[in-house]
Amino acid sequence: MKDTLRPGLTHSAALEIDQSLTVPHVSSKLEAFGDMPPVFATAFMIAFIEATCIEAIAKHLDDGEHSVGTHVDVSHLAATPPCRHDGYS
């Protein structure tokens, strides 16, 4: 790890929510999700948060180094439906 990896780093990312990121698409192995509403899945939200963290620290790691998440504490403020491509969401 490089000495540039320090507390307080910032990074941001954006993700357009489409049908593939909704609850019914979490996994065909988890049938209970199949008939849930088509809103942004918490599982995908957590994956997006982790991917954003990976991007944030990547340039601060030595070749071959990685980091993994060990704790997540987030809340949804509202369900997020997929984006519509007619100018409205």
Residues catalogued as catalytic = 42, 50, 76
64 by Cβ neighbours in 10 Å (0-12 / 13-18 / 19+) ranks as: exposed
Q: What is the rounded CA–CA span in Å between residue 30 and residue 28?
A: 5
At residue 67's C-alpha, the angle toward residues 1 and 64, to 5°, is 60
State the sign of the Cα–Cα–Cα–Cα dihedral 40, 56, 65, 68: negative
